[in-house]
Structure 1
Amino acid sequence: MGFLPLKSLPRLWPFYVWLILFYGIWLGIVVFGQYAGTVLSHWPIALTMSVGSYVAGSTPMGGGTVAFPVLVLLFEMPGSLGRNFGLAIQSIGMVSASIYILSSGRTVDWGLLRPALIGVLLGMPLGATWVAPAISDLWVKLIFAVIWASFGIMHLVKLRELVAATGVSQRWRCYDVPIGLWIGITGGVASSITGVGIDMLIYATLVLLYRADLKLAIPTSVILMAFTSVVGIASNLLLASWHPSIYRVDPEVFTNWLAAAPIVALGAPFGALVVNLISRTPTLVIVSLLCIGQFVWTLVHEQVSGLTLLGALAGVLLFNVMFHGLYHLGRGEVPFTLSNSADHLATEEADG
């Protein structure tokens, strides 16, 4: 962390305490459990998460956004393993980034974040218990691909305006609690299926509806995804101990986690640091293109056709309609009317 000014070191003491505790526990597991060979043999996932953790800390996308397609599409592992590994590894990387964000005094939108955190406590266990087990492995992959392809398209279309935004509109502040609860419950269920998604929901709400600066939206999304990941992997492990035949957590989740965890514990905070030193535009463009690319890759790899293909494409369209609606509501406009007029029905000043 050599980029940090000396005057910031004292306030970062919680972050350094966290790193000491984590690496001490990780080293103890490796040494006393004799897992050194396991760690070395899983170097590909550690290398993958060196990129994934940077993405997790510097963008509104969790490390699972990189881990899931690599494990599921490249290494041909089941979607449930990709989901559980994403939650497990984000419980280290994004928690580490969150502790760094809070310790360094970054601005976070607590008005929206607090009710979202409460919503997660309901949505994630509900999704893990009743929804995720009912989703086929193919649809786990497709839902993941649809969510992030939609997100990538939204970014490419609105990137210039999103990057230029400053401050945050106060127009929707009186609805913080219901909006936050909706994000937490809906995003919790979505994340129980794919391991990511809630970070995208709160980020899209902040930048499109609240017109928030990325400096506010990204740290807020990181903290929410960190909390969701901890609740998610804890829920899945508890369910697996209760009924392993239905809620099985593959042993490969632990071995991959053991190899990648020491990488992401520093990689995600590094991303959170670097994003304030360089332009966000190149990183967001590259990640957005990768999001769209993994959607195409999934369709080809899984040989998706017929009604399933139409369903996936409809999902991308539906998400972008939702983003379009949030964007126009954020501008104080009514996005859809029953008339054929191209004019909007209402426009108001964003005066807070």
Structure 2
Amino acid sequence: MHDEEHNKMEELPEEDTIICRRWCRQGISAWCKKYFWEGMTSVGGGAVAFPVMTLVMKESPEVARDMSMSIQANGMIAASFSIFFMEVHIERHALLDSFLGASAGVIFGLEMVDPVLTPSMKKMGFVSIFFAFAFTLFLINWNHKRKTFNSIPDLTPWKRWLIFVFGFVGGVFTAFSGSGADICMFSLLTLFFNVSEKVATPTSVVLMGFTSVVCWGWRALVTQEMPQESWEYLLAVLPIVVIGAPVGALIGTHFHRLVLAACVYILNTLSLIGAFVIVPQTPALAGGSVGAMVGMFIFYIILFKLGERMNDKYAKIIKEKQKKNVEEEIVVEVDQDYVKKEEHLTEEPEWAINLSYHGGGDGPMRFM
């Protein structure tokens, strides 16, 4: 009896130590992650949490995904509140259309796509696809004079459908990796529509926050399949992320767009290197990862070229309209000057007003 009590007494400190280590480890990592990345960049906290938890901490992709969704649903919603409160400019049309697509994509991905993929495929697919985007953005931003817009130029119905489709695809990525809707929308806004990173970043942050709430609610309330480990991680990091993410959103508004883009380069490069080092590679897995990177790189380049051609046409139309408006203004000014001159010529001179006739009829006219 005494031995059993003694063993229980020994087990309690060990359990407390494990919980304490988890709090410290996750608290510090979450602070760095949320403060610098979730609120400040288009890359949600899941882009850091998923590779770290699956590659370093050896957690299952399901636990990592649900933990990423839960912390993003809290941290990025807090960051979204800061964005709305500070009246930071976002692309509202893109936010609405992409959120509708991402919500449908998350549910479809959770029920249809996620069960088919293996853990290794999820890990390598995540880092490969988003590294291709980071590398493409780096090459494009090599030209520091790239023209950008603060909103989508000439938003037409087909562009809104395109935003919806990208949101759906991003939702599918989010379903198995915990992040994806933000990067997909960020890539479409920056590469195709040439929207500035300073506008695309807060738009992606708000989108990922709303999408995370949908995914978290589906896993926790609808299917009720969220693992207990994910709840424990959430409780450990929740007090930190709800503070760090809004602060990151505030800091991000004061940085140049190229600084924010550099954060995307660093995050995705480190994730790719870590994945190839930690995940056991097979010829099929390595070949598939390289093929995904090359294929997505080509896709992003094509997306950028099409967007560049479209935006150049739009810029020419705007210039022609401005030129036409200037010519019309010049014509109006010339007509007004002509009218003024005509009025001046037809006015009766002052000396004629002071004339009066003496005598009647056709008699001689004399000055007063």
What secondary structure sits across from 2:58 in the alignment? coil
Find the aligned partners of 1:277 and 1:193 in 2 and give their Cα distance.
33
Q: Distance in 2 between matches of 1:287 and 1:181?
A: 23
Alignment of 1:190-229 (within 5 A): 190-229=173-212
Q: Please name the residue that 2:8 is paired with.
A: none
**Which residue pairs with 2:304 in the alignment?**
327
Distance 1:266 1:50 in 2: 9
Alpha-carbon distance, 1:37 to partner: 9.1
Corresponding letter in the other structure for 1:259: A
Matched, 1:348 2:289: no
Q: Deviations over 1:151-206 (max 9, x none)?
A: 22123212345785343451454423211221222111111011101101111111
Name 1:98's counterpart in structure 2.
80
Alignment-derived partner of residue 299 in structure 1: 276
1:167 aligns with 2:150: yes
Distance 1:308 1:99 in 2: 41
- Cα displacement (A) at 1:38: 4.3
Within the candidate set 24, 31, 43, 1:50 is matched to 31
Matched position secondary structure for 1:107? coil
Distance 1:95 1:69, change over 3 A: same
Separation of aligned partners in 1, 2:143 and 2:40: 18
**2: CA distance between counterparts of 1:135 and 1:128?**
11
Equivalent position to 2:232, from 255, 279, 285: 255
Gaps of at least 5 residues in structure 2 are 1-15, 319-368
1: distance between equivalents of 2:236 and 2:176? 24
Q: How many residues align?
A: 300
Give 1:125's aligned residue.
107
- SS of the counterpart of 1:129? helix
Cα displacement string for residues 50-104 of structure 1 (whole angstroms, at most 9, x for unaligned residues): 1221201111100011111211111111111111111110001111111111121
> Given the alignment of the two structures, is residue 179 of structure 1 paired with residue 144 of structure 2, yes or no?
no
Deviation at 1:256, TM superposition (A): 0.9
Q: Does 1:270 find its partner at 2:247?
A: yes
Q: Which residue of 1 aligns with 2:121?
A: 139
Residue type at the aligned position of 2:120: L
1:279 has 2:279 as partner: no
Per-residue CA deviations over 1:113-142 (Å, capped at 9, x if unaligned) read 212121223211111111112211111111
1:163/1:280 contact within 8 Å kept: no
- Over 3 Å counting, the alpha-carbon distance change for 1:306 and 1:114 in structure 2 is same
SS state at 2:275 partner: helix
Q: Return the alpha-carbon distance in structure 2 between the equivalents of residues 177 and 331 of structure 1.
A: 18
Checking the alignment, whether the CA contact within 8 Å between 1:52 and 1:65 is kept in structure 2 is no
Q: Partner of 1:42: helix, strand, or coil? A: helix
Give aligned-pair identity as a percent: 24
Q: What amino acid is the match of 2:29?
A: T
Could you list the per-position Cα deviations for residues 257-311 of structure 1 after superposition, in whole angstroms to 9, with x for gaps in the alignment?
1111111111111111111223343453244133122212212211213122111
CA distance in 2, matches of 1:162, 1:102: 29
1:146 shift after superposition:
1.3
Q: Distance in 2 between matches of 1:162 and 1:67?
A: 31
The aligned residue for residue 289 of structure 2 is: 312
8 Å Cα contact 1:115/1:181 also seen in 2? yes
The CA RMSD over aligned residues, in Å, is 2.4
TM-score with structure 1 setting the length: 0.79
8 A contact 2:110–2:175 mirrored in 1: yes
- Measure the CA separation in 2 of the matches of 1:236 and 1:177: 29
Report Cα offsets for 1:290-344 as digits up to 9, x if no partner. 312221221221121312211111111121112111211111169xxxxxxxxxx
1:22-59 per-position Cα deviation (integer Å, ceiling 9, x unaligned): xxxxxxxxxxxxx9994674211111111221201111
Paired with 1:101 and 1:349, the residues of 2 have a C-alpha distance of 30
> Is residue 56–residue 94 contact of structure 1 (8 Å, CA) maintained in 2?
yes
Task: Determine the C-alpha separation between the residues in 1 that align with 2:205 and 2:103.
Answer: 17
Q: Which runs of no fewer than 5 residues in structure 1 stay unpaired? A: 1-34, 242-247, 335-346
Distance 1:167 1:249 in 2: 39
Look up the match of 1:234. Answer: 217
Structure 1 runs (4+) greater than 6 angstroms displaced? none
**Aligned partners of 2:155, 2:308: CA distance in 1, in Å?**
11
The 8 Å contact of residues 192 and 303 in structure 2, kept in 1 or not, is answered as yes
Structure 1 residue matching 2:141: 3-state secondary structure: helix
